[in-house]
Chains A and B, each alone.
Chain A
Amino acid sequence: MTELARIRPESFFADRFNVSSSLLERVLGGSLLGRVDDADIYLEYRVNEELQLEEGTVKKASRHVSQGAGVRALSGTRTGYAHTDDISLPNLEEAASQARAIADRAGASGAVAVPSRGRPHDLYTLTEPPVVTDLARKLDLLRKVDDAARAADPRVTHVIASLSSEEVVTLVATASGWTVGDVRPLTRLNVTAIAEENGRREIGGWGGGGRVALDFYLEEERWRGFAREAARQAVLKLRAVDAPAGTMTVVLGPGWPGILLHEAVGHGLEGDFNRKGTSAFAGRMGRKVASELVTVIDDGTIPNRRGSLNVDDEGTATGRTVLIEKGILVGYMQDRLNARLMGMEPTGNGRRESYAHPPMPRMTNTFMVAGEEAPEEIIGSVRRGLYAVTFGGGQVDITNGKFVFSASEAYLIEDGRVTAPVKGASLIGNGPEALTRVSRVGRDLKLDEGVGTCGKEGQSVPVGVGLPTIRIDELTVGGTAV
């Protein structure tokens, strides 16, 4: 796999598949230009490696290669998309003619394609691509993590430690003659611990990563921290009491609870839903959608973060988009199609799971700007409520704005003090309302550890979130203790 080391996407695809930039231009020009509003070709080569240690031994080792090309033709609101896993000139031409067929029927709308813009960033050049790093070093890390998690507590009965390493080489050629590529490393270390006591069993997990090399994990504090956290979560849950049921004050801890933003407002501010008028936030631009303490940003340019990209999957440089400023809705996240149709600028949020999927507006790293309060004062301000610090997944209904996210580590707050841990429970709220009830914002903004994956219309992409400690005056907690 050494051929992936410090490669340039253009020469990579030219050498490996005999597909040069001039050839891509010819396919775009010959088959597509003049008859459609916009068109692009996306090439992708992906190597993924999974290593898993379970019961102290290497249980799983696998390596996967996927490659392909997606050709897209856009005309008005229409998209023709064809993809193939065999990157060659005849296949690209066939795909182009399939993609074009749909646009031909419409005829070009006359709308002018938004020019691609921005120099790509350099956010994650690594000394060594993680997929070429020696296996022995990776396994050594997993063994240490596994030992540490099992040693953390005698009640831990089973540990799974896994490391996934990926490298994706992309090249986008657009009809306007812009060709830009990216080489994206991505790694993630995960620890799962299962604990058992008096017949009660629980599971805990922790992990993290980003567009980082193996060295990132080798800092002792980091890998030990992941192991300890997984064990601590599992053991803590052994004594969790039933979660409360009903509407109450909720304090969210810093970091990963930022999934609240992702679900409550993030999806609703993606361009496609707003162009179609199917988002609960449609038509609210310039209006108040959150308390004045709330500023929310989507930023794809933070170095080495899981959600960051040098360029998006349409060749637009990523950016820092303010979505909500002091409570006022000020921005949407856009891809090229929706930007063109809404008369806006693309924001570098056009993403896709792979060559097999057309791009759409997606989040990158979405976070709330820090406030001024001390976290302990925020907790201290609550007489009775829930303090939630770790979450599983979340989901939102874009149209009515209702979102849920599931707390996996949460505690009761009684008279300003954090007391008993409670069992996992879903929190449910209404996106356009929930952030209006944010009454305190901490100074402790933290980005998550780097584990998020977002699903939309069947496409998964890596994302990040971030949050300072915040207090929400009313949110419904879905426990069983009435």
Chain B
Amino acid sequence: MNTEVLVGVLQRAVAKGATAADGYLIEERAFSASVRLGEIETVTHSRDARLSLRVFAGRASAAASTSDLSRASLERVVDEATSLAKVTAEDPHAGLPAPDELIGGVPDLDLEDASPSLSPEAKIELARQCEAAALESDSRITNSEGAEYHDSRARYVYATSHGFAQGYATTRFGISVSPVAARNGEMQRDYWYSSARKRAGLDDPATVGRTAAARAVRRLGARKVKTVEVPVVFDPETAASLLRAIAGAASGPSLYRRASFLLDRLGTKIASPAVTIVDDARITGGLGSRPFDGEGLPTRRTALVREGVLESYLLDTYCARKLGLRSTHHAARDGSGVSVSTSNLMLLPGRSTPSELIGSVERGLYVTELIGFGVNNVTGDYSRGAVGLWIENGELTYPVEEVTVAGNLLEMFQAIDGVGADLVLRDRTAAPTLRIGRMVVAGD
């Protein structure tokens, strides 16, 4: 293991004059295979490592990273980070968390698959089965962007110059497929996937394939609708994207920059009482689970929003100090230093079935895909391209495309008047079906 390498780097940083330092080492092996129309398309093997370092010179800090773990390169990284720290300004809020806040024992969250690895052929076969099921399930599926299988095995080690060094290992598996349906010259593509910490946790490849095919086929014959203000029902996949927007606005850096629509809203009602949003890093086998955050702080379950009231922001140590709050243990390490990220972010389920929610709409839009980047984190203004199905008298009717849905996220969350019971943790961020009372659908 390369824990010693990381510890050695931190020691060198201190020897070079750093008053404190911390670092992260990620080592990863990955495999992916894509198959298109039954033929192998691309097979990729990889092996990567990256060491990222943060050094403090008093209250000034700098970061550096490298994928070259040779001795010469590591020495250069330390020298560069320490010399960069000399040009950055003193910041009274900079610094490592107190040593006694760091995690003691690392709990086993069951994030690593111990079962023997499949042969490359067997992995490719999973992708093949997935795509074959999509192609066979409906005669209108005439083409494919291909199916993919991937797996990765990673080990993370975090260490500080105070002598802390802990690590954990994870695995991740996934299959996905993107079939194309065609009729009368029209083509529609859709997508479905399954991801899991353990291979045995993946959905059956054929089920993934058939789901993707059904999603593509139901888009055939799509048309625009007239511009109108109506109730909008978001399916679980698109509803999850609304949660990501809330998490972005609740994250420390946007708050201390006063660039968030959730600024000064802690303890106030920001959503309808039907809305409870939780970030839980300790879910056994969860795709977003992690025993400790990017600063070695033990992770936990945080209620962001409880029955419509904003209860917590997402903070690392720096943002917390700057805002006069405490870290919520959401630090993440990216290449350029420390940032904030969620773990398993969920909107807790309500009691309605998706068909009850759709059935409650006389005339409106059921959204199954969103495209574009029209979300303003500062004001909450929201405008994105949408694909879905038109609801008429509580029934899904024809498919809809080339329209936008627009509103303001604060108003949209206040207007959630139906929460589905269908929460499934398919990814690190998940939501059940959501009904929003009113939004503007722009079309003809």
Interfacial residues, chain A to chain B (CB-CB below 8 A): 50, 54, 57-68, 76-86, 95, 98-99, 101-102, 105-106, 135-136, 139, 157-158, 160, 194, 196, 200-203, 243, 245-247, 276-278, 280, 356, 358, 392-400, 402-406, 423-426, 428-430, 476-480, 482
**Contact (Cβ within 8 A) A246 B402:** no
Q: Which of B249-265 contact A (CB under 8 A)?
A: 257-259, 263
A463 to chain B, nearest CB (A): 16
Please pick, from B48, B65, B84, B377, the residue contacting A68 in the complex, using a CB distance under 8 A: B48
Q: Which of B86-94, B343-351, B426-434 lies at the interface? A: B86-94
**Contact (Cβ within 8 A) B222 A400:** yes
Is B282 in the interface zone, CB < 8 Å from A?
Answer: no
Q: Which of B127-156 contact A (CB under 8 A)?
A: 143-145
Is B10 in the interface zone, CB < 8 Å from A?
Answer: no
Secondary structure type dominating chain A contacts: strand
Is B67 in the interface zone, CB < 8 Å from A?
Answer: yes
- Contacts A/B (CB < 8 Å), 6 sampled: A102-B40, A201-B263, A392-B374, A394-B373, A402-B371, A405-B372
With A and B bound together, what is the CA distance between A388 and B336 in angstroms?
Answer: 34
Chain A residues lying within 8 Å of B120, measured Cβ to Cβ, are 101
Is B101 in the interface zone, CB < 8 Å from A?
Answer: no
Is B63 in the interface zone, CB < 8 Å from A?
Answer: yes
**Contact (Cβ within 8 A) A246 B372:** no
**Contact (Cβ within 8 A) B73 A65:** yes
Is B46 in the interface zone, CB < 8 Å from A?
Answer: yes
Chain A residues lying within 8 Å of B40, measured Cβ to Cβ, are 78, 102, 105-106
Q: Which of B162-170, B185-193, B296-304 lies at the interface? A: B185-193
Chain A residues lying within 8 Å of B405, measured Cβ to Cβ, are 478
With A and B bound together, what is the CA distance between A52 and B337 in angstroms?
Answer: 12
Is B312 in the interface zone, CB < 8 Å from A?
Answer: no
Instruction: Give per-residue flags for B67-97: 1 if the beta carbon is below 8 A from chain A beta carbons, else 0.
Output: 1110001001100110011011111000000
**Contact (Cβ within 8 A) A65 B77:** yes
**Contact (Cβ within 8 A) B385 A82:** no
**Contact (Cβ within 8 A) A245 B189:** no
**Contact (Cβ within 8 A) A136 B87:** yes
Please pick, from A196, A245, A400, the residue contacting B258 in the complex, using a CB distance under 8 A: A196
With A and B bound together, what is the CA distance between A61 and B62 in angstroms?
Answer: 5
Instruction: Give per-residue flags for B392-415: 1 if the beta carbon is below 8 A from chain A beta carbons, else 0.
Output: 000000000111111110000000
**Contact (Cβ within 8 A) A243 B383:** yes
Chain B residues lying within 8 Å of A98, measured Cβ to Cβ, are 45
**Contact (Cβ within 8 A) B383 A426:** yes
**Contact (Cβ within 8 A) A430 B402:** yes
Is B180 in the interface zone, CB < 8 Å from A?
Answer: yes
Is B229 in the interface zone, CB < 8 Å from A?
Answer: yes
With A and B bound together, what is the CA distance between A85 and B50 in angstroms?
Answer: 9
Chain B residues lying within 8 Å of A404, measured Cβ to Cβ, are 371-372, 374, 384-385, 404
Chain B residues lying within 8 Å of A405, measured Cβ to Cβ, are 372
Instruction: Give per-residue flags for B38-59: 1 if the beta carbon is below 8 A from chain A beta carbons, else 0.
Output: 0111111111111000000000
A52 to chain B, nearest CB (A): 9
A240 to chain B, nearest CB (A): 9
Interfacial residues, chain B to chain A (CB-CB below 8 A): 36, 39-50, 62-69, 73, 76-77, 80-81, 84-85, 87-91, 120, 143-145, 180, 186-189, 219, 222, 224, 227-229, 257-259, 263, 335-337, 371-374, 376-379, 381, 383-385, 387, 401-408, 440, 442-444
Chain B residues lying within 8 Å of A396, measured Cβ to Cβ, are 371
Chain A residues lying within 8 Å of B374, measured Cβ to Cβ, are 392, 404, 406, 424-426, 478
Q: In this complex, what residue of B is CB-closest to A73?
A: B43
A129 to chain B, nearest CB (A): 16
Chain B residues lying within 8 Å of A482, measured Cβ to Cβ, are 227-229, 440
B201 to chain A, nearest CB (A): 22
**Contact (Cβ within 8 A) A203 B404:** no
Chain B residues lying within 8 Å of A430, measured Cβ to Cβ, are 402
Please pick, from A84, A392, A398, the residue contacting B189 in the complex, using a CB distance under 8 A: A398
**Contact (Cβ within 8 A) A62 B62:** yes
**Contact (Cβ within 8 A) B41 A406:** no
**Contact (Cβ within 8 A) A62 B402:** no
With A and B bound together, what is the CA distance between A3 and B354 in angstroms?
Answer: 61
Please pick, from A58, A202, A392, A393, the residue contacting B87 in the complex, using a CB distance under 8 A: A58
Q: In this complex, what residue of A is CB-closest to B62?
A: A61
Given A64-B336, A79-B41, A404-B384, answer yes or no on A59-B67 (Cβ-Cβ < 8 Å).
no
**Contact (Cβ within 8 A) A50 B336:** yes
Please pick, from B143, B383, B385, the residue contacting A395 in the complex, using a CB distance under 8 A: B385
With A and B bound together, what is the CA distance between A65 and B53 in angstroms?
Answer: 12
Chain B residues lying within 8 Å of A426, measured Cβ to Cβ, are 372, 374, 383-385, 404, 406
Chain B residues lying within 8 Å of A429, measured Cβ to Cβ, are 402
Chain A residues lying within 8 Å of B84, measured Cβ to Cβ, are 61-63, 135
A390 to chain B, nearest CB (A): 13
Chain A residues lying within 8 Å of B257, measured Cβ to Cβ, are 54, 158, 160, 194
A362 to chain B, nearest CB (A): 16
Chain B residues lying within 8 Å of A58, measured Cβ to Cβ, are 87-89
Chain B residues lying within 8 Å of A392, measured Cβ to Cβ, are 373-374
Given A276-B143, A399-B187, A428-B385, answer yes or no on A83-B89 (Cβ-Cβ < 8 Å).
no
Chain A residues lying within 8 Å of B145, measured Cβ to Cβ, are 276, 278, 399
Chain A residues lying within 8 Å of B379, measured Cβ to Cβ, are 200-202, 423
A472 to chain B, nearest CB (A): 14
B255 to chain A, nearest CB (A): 12
With A and B bound together, what is the CA distance between A83 and B42 in angstroms?
Answer: 13
**Contact (Cβ within 8 A) B373 A60:** no
Please pick, from B42, B68, B90, B377, the residue contacting A358 in the complex, using a CB distance under 8 A: B42
Chain A residues lying within 8 Å of B404, measured Cβ to Cβ, are 245, 404, 425-426, 428, 476-478
Chain B residues lying within 8 Å of A201, measured Cβ to Cβ, are 258-259, 263, 378-379
B107 to chain A, nearest CB (A): 30
Given A83-B46, A194-B257, A426-B385, answer yes or no on A278-B336 (Cβ-Cβ < 8 Å).
no
Chain B residues lying within 8 Å of A246, measured Cβ to Cβ, are 227, 442-444
With A and B bound together, what is the CA distance between A402 and B371 in angstroms?
Answer: 9
With A and B bound together, what is the CA distance between A406 and B258 in angstroms?
Answer: 23
**Contact (Cβ within 8 A) A478 B383:** yes
With A and B bound together, what is the CA distance between A68 and B376 in angstroms?
Answer: 37
Please pick, from B45, B63, B68, the residue contacting A67 in the complex, using a CB distance under 8 A: B68
Chain A residues lying within 8 Å of B85, measured Cβ to Cβ, are 61
Chain B residues lying within 8 Å of A395, measured Cβ to Cβ, are 371-373, 385
With A and B bound together, what is the CA distance between A280 and B222 in angstroms?
Answer: 15
**Contact (Cβ within 8 A) A62 B383:** no
Most chain A CB inside 10 Å of its own CB: which residue of B76, B80, B144: B80
Given A202-B379, A476-B224, answer yes or no on A402-B87 (Cβ-Cβ < 8 Å).
no
Q: A424-B374, A426-B385 are in contact. List 5 more A-B contacts (CB 8 A).
A: A425-B406, A429-B402, A476-B403, A478-B384, A479-B406
B105 to chain A, nearest CB (A): 32
A79 to chain B, nearest CB (A): 4
Q: In this complex, what residue of A is CB-closest to B34?
A: A79
With A and B bound together, what is the CA distance between A117 and B310 in angstroms?
Answer: 60
With A and B bound together, what is the CA distance between A425 and B379 in angstroms?
Answer: 13
Q: In this complex, what residue of B is CB-closest to A82?
A: B45
Chain B residues lying within 8 Å of A243, measured Cβ to Cβ, are 383, 406
With A and B bound together, what is the CA distance between A84 and B76 in angstroms?
Answer: 21
Please pick, from B44, B47, B406, the residue contacting A480 in the complex, using a CB distance under 8 A: B406
**Contact (Cβ within 8 A) A280 B67:** no
B60 to chain A, nearest CB (A): 8
Chain B residues lying within 8 Å of A480, measured Cβ to Cβ, are 383, 406-408, 440
Please pick, from A77, A83, A403, A476, the residue contacting B41 in the complex, using a CB distance under 8 A: A77
**Contact (Cβ within 8 A) A406 B372:** yes
**Contact (Cβ within 8 A) B385 A63:** no
Given A196-B258, A392-B373, answer yes or no on A280-B440 (Cβ-Cβ < 8 Å).
no
Given A157-B258, A194-B378, A202-B379, answer yes or no on A64-B335 (Cβ-Cβ < 8 Å).
yes
With A and B bound together, what is the CA distance between A356 and B46 in angstroms?
Answer: 8
A84 to chain B, nearest CB (A): 5
**Contact (Cβ within 8 A) A68 B67:** yes
A296 to chain B, nearest CB (A): 21
